[in-house]
Amino acid sequence: MRDSKKLSEITRNIASEIDAAAAGLTAWEEVCKSFVSYFPGSYVCVLNQNFVSPEFGFQAVENLDANHMQSYTQHYAFINPWNCFWKSAPSGSILVSQRDNPASQYHNGEFYNDWMKRTGDFEAAVGLKLQIDRAETVYLPVHYALGLAETYDRELEFVLANIRPALQNALQLKRTLRHMGESASARAA
């Protein structure tokens, strides 16, 4: 396991990528690429899911085949057995799959057999949930092989806890800009 000094450096670098993406200076995919560079063998997503409409407002991904991501957003996201678990978690939660809700309990389900197993060896994960409003949620999960879980679980929990403020600020900026745009449109009408 990397020491706290190295993990703090990783955290600062990823938080800087989040700040740059929030300001429109870089793409959110760069945030995902940073995670993958520090956690080799993983895939990373930033997903904005609306549970009322049901749709995805935004997605960025690194190291997951585009066809898998497309099938997820079009079908499998809506039958994902972790949805209830994620929905019940408070905003700001960091969940570790092996500790909090292991994939092994879903081995006989459609989601696991038809989608998750086909993505590759990514059965372990750590994810951050942030609630935008009642209907919209942003998830930042990092998925990896079970063999990496002993190290990655603790490291990613540390990193996600420490980038949480940067991601919350990015979402607040998005909300503020959206409200400003809506107000400007209303005034123009």
Query: How far apart (Å, rounded) are the C-alpha atoms in residues 173 and 136?
Result: 15
- pLDDT for 186 equals 46
Those residues whose C-beta lies under 8 Å from the C-beta of residue 145, and which sit 6 or more positions away, are 41, 121, 122, 123, 124
Which of 77-81, 129-133, 154-158, 175-179 ranks highest by mean pLDDT?
154-158
pLDDT in tens, 151-176: 999 999 999 999 999 999 988 876 65
Task: Using alpha carbons, select from 116, 120, 161, 117 the residue that is nearest to residue 140.
Answer: 161
What does the DSSP assignment read for 129-171?
Answer: EEE-SSSEEEEEEEEE-GGGHHHHHHHHHHHHHHHHHHHHHHH
Task: Using alpha carbons, select from 158, 89, 98 the residue that is nearest to residue 125.
Answer: 98
Those residues whose C-beta lies under 8 Å from the C-beta of residue 41, and which sit 6 or more positions away, are 144, 145, 148
Identify whether the C-beta of residue 26 lies closer than 8 Å to the C-beta of residue 6. no
Read off the pTM.
Answer: 0.89
